[in-house]
Amino acid sequence: MVDQIFEIQWDKSTDETYVGKVLHVGSRAKMSKQAADLASDAADASILTD
């Protein structure tokens, strides 16, 4: 099974969160897509409570 790294990019000008696959697989910041989605949800929640 190949580990996949996902990168979250939040563009403040569009208020959209993009989760894209990072092709380079390293030991840092490994996340499953589920973890990336959870992080995205947490970011959305923190934006709403600002």
Look at residues 45, 23, 16 and name the one whose alpha carbon lies nearest to residue 8. 16
Reported as a pLDDT band with limits 50, 70 and 90, residue 31 is low
Average pLDDT of span 34-50: 76
Number of domains, the chain: 1
- Rounded CA-CA distance 21/12 in Å is 20
Look at residues 50, 40, 44, 23 and name the one whose alpha carbon lies nearest to residue 3. 23
- Rounded CA-CA distance 21/10 in Å is 14
Q: What domain range is 32 assigned to? A: 5-48
Reported as a pLDDT band with limits 50, 70 and 90, residue 27 is very low
